[in-house]
Chain A
């Protein structure tokens, strides 16, 4: 075992060990549980950093596998690690964000009765995601993919006693399973064709498709579609996105984790991981591009009317994930992955900043938060503003660079004109809804309005109730946010480095411009962003602003956008209803028809027995009477026949 492999194992199994110890022995000892989990995650972070230094920096690739599961005499499935710049840098992102969330949670979750359990689940999440990222083959990826789903279920439903989180957890698990069914089938088909779906083999097989390789071009297309089903479910795209806004019922740090580097990122990561394979199915990629464009715009419209700060951020995640997939479908793994990295940083930052306000105001509603003196939370303000600037794509925050890379990829990669135009439009909408959130949250209601009158006493109470000195936990929350805020100014310069190492020689790599190269594309994007921010300022920021957005003015439109475009209603009215009806019918059939038939046979047998039992009733008189009657009958018959003869 080489040093790098060992480091990869440490990065994965330190959180697992912490998870096991915490869940088995430390649920009643919150401080010890948190300390152990954080220590394990820090170890994982260090191991990942070591991997980046030894593997990613020099641009090496390492593959080590060992037999795990014998299938039959000839074949067996393996587990191992695939270390290359993509996997190791992602491992660093995952462990870094998870660590940040764990540190932050010491403050946010302080005093929760399930504190120990919470850290156990977080460690489980860390293990699952590290395992997924470092997986050497697709079966292994599938295993951790499912474990990521399990961890999300447990964490979204962490406050399981309340009905809403329980329902949200259930929805997330089942909805992503719908996509995972396709993923499983795709992986099984690959295993069947290739014996062992090692990632480099899969990529190579797609390259050789049609040239006598083990996969035909048709098979590549089918498998690509199946794998994408999993991606669509996990990364909350297209028709399967509605679980994600509901998942906001989980604790806010969990949302930060779920939306940045784990869970939803898994789908995008898979596409980046197998990018050459997917590119071998151009028709599928074309479809994915359009799906992503529609998802990005649709989610942006939903974010424009939400009044819950976490829902705004949830919709923005869906939209930004769609941007990543657009880049991948448009041909650039580097640009998509670049945005994944910067997004992980600023989206975690945004959720954690929002968490600071929510923690103090005890509400998710932006207008109510604004009544609780939000500007007193310095770290929260810094985080929200820096994160929003990155999300909106304002230069020089990280999101600007990565989003610009995506738009340039689309424009230069030959995507349809209209798709490119819609992607630019989405950038303007992003800036609009992001700054709508900033203004609604941080600008208090103007005096004189009804909302402000209602808010006044609450603000006073909030100010009075707040202790003068921050606790240790609150300091941890603030420090985490400030560190992540600083990162939004750094991560944006990673682009060219990533492009050179992730996919050396990718044709579209030059679309990732050096940071400050202004051409027509960047200027157009910046102008659109400025327009979006300006509109938000007019409607929400300036003195005397109506604080009602253009999309919110028509109630029907606002309802439609705010209710996930009525998709949930559609599902309830169709798929869920049909499945329930089918299930009831099956139960009725089992109780009445199948079981009824069996009981009928039994009843018939018993009834038949009763009738026959009458013959043997044990009364001698009856037997005699029957005998005499029979003899008489016989005699009569004989006599009659004698007479007849």
Chain B
């Protein structure tokens, strides 16, 4: 372990980048873009150093920084990584960097756009690294609020409606999480917000059973939990490309991460008590999301509902409370994040050039823009669970875990794979195969610079598709500790 406070540095990278952007006059959009890209590269490098120096053999948190901040309330600047949040920090850096590159052609209010996007990323990094409940909730809000502006200003299709819906839903989530967090604080009676210490509090069983649903539902809204999921597809459709990428790729993971980091370790008895209910909800997510995706006509709605379905797999994995299932869930968070970022990046190019996402007006795109289409097709195949891409392994692990704990639900979910394949292939065939259904101006295939971020995402899908142990070796020790704490 190095002596440098790497996590604080990781957080300071986007903070510095944000400051630099704000200090640059808006009449230099090129400079602002470059600052954003540089920030993304720097963040990715810091995460790479973290990943490189992370020692999977050492149990518990690494790179820990623990400085008291407001001792009177027990709030401290406490950061650390283990195998659960390290992949998520990596995911955030990847999606941020590629998101900046994807939006390179943005013309409208460039400065504000990249500033808000960077602010959002600061919040996400914060949530993923902090071990203090107070900061957790604080960063959570930091991550949520820029979303409203990003969608309402730069969005499309019913953007004000989508932005408001998203914000209200997420605030409902907060309204459930904050009282629960306070209950955890007072209930422990230790006068600390430190998550690692609260995990040793051993709350009484009725308390756990009462508080767990607040946290699960509150965080679950952000993870797209049925029936509180509709903000998510609507928000995706309204959001500009890179915001959709961050939104589905990273923001929805905050919810699942909250369950994993706060709800489950602090309230293990609650998690056990509610496991069947949450697993059933997750199954509904998977099956229902797939069915709704099957009859959508807007490409982004298809992806939005596929996210609902795939996040159900994460929630199911968590609900199994088994190592295999949680390993799969964490892997799926990463994998789905990369995959869905690729999805939105691919659709973004089509929409930018053809100004429509209506499947009924498209068709035959593989002929006119083969490379741009290949990106979407790869994302769709990943979503359909084709081996060779990372999601296959993640889902396999979840199924293995679920088959042991909830065999009936597992059989339903595995059966629903047919529907998953059906909606993926339907979109591929209708959009990229055949002939165009409406005349469109001739547009060139994607230029190399814009293909680069998408290619990076494909690279990660393939890397972990062919070598899943690279990521699972990191995840596994952490889930092992977590599951031991659960029982």
A166-B433 contact, Cβ under 8 Å, with A69-B469, A72-B480 = yes
Contact of A161 among B230, B291, B435 (CB under 8 A): B435
The segment from A1-9, A87-95, A142-150, A621-629 that touches chain B is A142-150
Nearest Cβ on chain B to A26's Cβ, whole angstroms: 14
Asked if A518 is an interface residue, CB under 8 A from chain B, the answer is no
Contact of A73 among B229, B364, B403, B480 (CB under 8 A): B480
The segment from A168-176, A253-261, A430-438 that touches chain B is A168-176
Contact of B386 among A75, A146, A174, A191 (CB under 8 A): A146
A71 partner residues in chain B, CB cutoff 8 A: 323-324, 327, 397, 400
Q: Complex Cα distance A71/B396, Å?
A: 10
**A166→B434 contact, CB < 8 A:** yes
Asked if A579 is an interface residue, CB under 8 A from chain B, the answer is yes
Contact of A72 among B230, B327, B381 (CB under 8 A): B327
The segment from B122-130, B175-183, B206-214, B414-422 that touches chain A is B414-422
- Smallest CB-CB separation from B325: which chain A residue? A72
Contact of A147 among B294, B388, B399 (CB under 8 A): B388
A160 partner residues in chain B, CB cutoff 8 A: 366-367, 432-434
Q: Complex Cα distance A170/B294, Å?
A: 14
Asked if A312 is an interface residue, CB under 8 A from chain B, the answer is no
Contact of B422 among A67, A146, A174 (CB under 8 A): A174
A594-B227 contact, Cβ under 8 Å, with A71-B327, A72-B480, A166-B434 = yes
Asked if A582 is an interface residue, CB under 8 A from chain B, the answer is yes
**B400→A173 contact, CB < 8 A:** no
Q: Complex Cα distance A102/B93, Å?
A: 43
The residue in A142, A167, A181 that gathers the most chain B C-beta atoms within 10 A of its C-beta is A181
Interface residues in B219-278 by Cβ distance below 8 A to A read: 227, 229-231, 234
B473 partner residues in chain A, CB cutoff 8 A: 70
B419 partner residues in chain A, CB cutoff 8 A: 579, 583
Q: Complex Cα distance A464/B295, Å?
A: 52
Q: Complex Cα distance A146/B387, Å?
A: 7
Number of interface residues of A (CB under 8 A): 47
A191 partner residues in chain B, CB cutoff 8 A: 400
A579 partner residues in chain B, CB cutoff 8 A: 294, 419, 422
Asked if A80 is an interface residue, CB under 8 A from chain B, the answer is no
Asked if B319 is an interface residue, CB under 8 A from chain A, the answer is no
A602 partner residues in chain B, CB cutoff 8 A: 165, 168
**B397→A181 contact, CB < 8 A:** no
Asked if A469 is an interface residue, CB under 8 A from chain B, the answer is no
Asked if A185 is an interface residue, CB under 8 A from chain B, the answer is yes
**B434→A184 contact, CB < 8 A:** no
B364 partner residues in chain A, CB cutoff 8 A: 161
**A587→B425 contact, CB < 8 A:** no
Asked if B197 is an interface residue, CB under 8 A from chain A, the answer is no
Q: Complex Cα distance A587/B301, Å?
A: 11
A174-B418 contact, Cβ under 8 Å, with A147-B387, A188-B399 = yes
Q: Complex Cα distance A160/B231, Å?
A: 35
**B426→A587 contact, CB < 8 A:** no
- Smallest CB-CB separation from B386: which chain A residue? A150
Q: Complex Cα distance A228/B430, Å?
A: 32
**B434→A161 contact, CB < 8 A:** yes
Q: Complex Cα distance A590/B228, Å?
A: 10
**B291→A582 contact, CB < 8 A:** yes
Task: Return the CB mask of A45-75 against B: 1 if under 8 Å, else 0.
Answer: 0000000000000000000000111111101
Interface residues in B165-205 by Cβ distance below 8 A to A read: 165, 168-169
**A174→B425 contact, CB < 8 A:** yes
Asked if B472 is an interface residue, CB under 8 A from chain A, the answer is yes
Asked if A530 is an interface residue, CB under 8 A from chain B, the answer is no
The residue in B327, B364, B425 that gathers the most chain A C-beta atoms within 10 A of its C-beta is B425
Nearest Cβ on chain B to A548's Cβ, whole angstroms: 36
The residue in A72, A73, A173, A189 that gathers the most chain B C-beta atoms within 10 A of its C-beta is A72
The residue in B288, B433, B473, B476 that gathers the most chain A C-beta atoms within 10 A of its C-beta is B433
**A584→B434 contact, CB < 8 A:** no
A189 partner residues in chain B, CB cutoff 8 A: 403
B324 partner residues in chain A, CB cutoff 8 A: 71-72, 75
Task: Return the CB mask of B402-432 against A: 1 if under 8 Å, else 0.
Answer: 0110000011001101110110011001001
Asked if A527 is an interface residue, CB under 8 A from chain B, the answer is no
Asked if B142 is an interface residue, CB under 8 A from chain A, the answer is no
Asked if B322 is an interface residue, CB under 8 A from chain A, the answer is yes
A162 partner residues in chain B, CB cutoff 8 A: 434
Asked if B468 is an interface residue, CB under 8 A from chain A, the answer is yes
B422 partner residues in chain A, CB cutoff 8 A: 174, 579
Nearest Cβ on chain B to A20's Cβ, whole angstroms: 10
Nearest Cβ on chain B to A169's Cβ, whole angstroms: 7
Q: Complex Cα distance A161/B436, Å?
A: 9
Asked if A399 is an interface residue, CB under 8 A from chain B, the answer is no
Asked if A178 is an interface residue, CB under 8 A from chain B, the answer is yes
Asked if A595 is an interface residue, CB under 8 A from chain B, the answer is yes
Nearest Cβ on chain A to B421's Cβ, whole angstroms: 5
**B292→A166 contact, CB < 8 A:** no
Interface residues in A182-228 by Cβ distance below 8 A to B read: 184-185, 188-189, 191-192
Task: Return the CB mask of A564-601 against B: 1 if under 8 Å, else 0.
Answer: 00000000000000011011101100100011001000
Asked if B8 is an interface residue, CB under 8 A from chain A, the answer is no
Interface residues in B121-159 by Cβ distance below 8 A to A read: none
Asked if A177 is an interface residue, CB under 8 A from chain B, the answer is yes
Asked if B62 is an interface residue, CB under 8 A from chain A, the answer is no
**A68→B469 contact, CB < 8 A:** yes
**A170→B168 contact, CB < 8 A:** no
**B323→A177 contact, CB < 8 A:** no
Asked if A541 is an interface residue, CB under 8 A from chain B, the answer is no
Nearest Cβ on chain A to B476's Cβ, whole angstroms: 6
Q: Complex Cα distance A73/B296, Å?
A: 41
Q: Complex Cα distance A69/B473, Å?
A: 9
Asked if A383 is an interface residue, CB under 8 A from chain B, the answer is no
- Smallest CB-CB separation from B404: which chain A residue? A192
B476 partner residues in chain A, CB cutoff 8 A: 70, 72-73
Nearest Cβ on chain A to B438's Cβ, whole angstroms: 16
B296 partner residues in chain A, CB cutoff 8 A: 587
Asked if B393 is an interface residue, CB under 8 A from chain A, the answer is yes
- Smallest CB-CB separation from B322: which chain A residue? A72
Contact of A181 among B295, B387, B417 (CB under 8 A): B417
Q: List 21 A-B contacts (CB under 8 A).
A: A69-B469, A70-B472, A71-B397, A73-B323, A143-B388, A143-B392, A144-B387, A150-B388, A160-B367, A161-B364, A167-B429, A169-B429, A170-B425, A173-B421, A188-B399, A189-B403, A580-B294, A583-B294, A595-B230, A595-B234, A598-B169
Q: Across chains A and B, which 3 residue pairs bring their CB atoms closest together, nearest first?
A: A72-B323, A166-B433, A583-B294
| Given pairs A71-B324, A71-B397, A146-B386, 12 additional interface contacts (CB within 8 A) | A69-B468, A70-B469, A72-B476, A142-B387, A157-B429, A170-B429, A177-B418, A184-B414, A188-B400, A188-B403, A192-B403, A580-B294
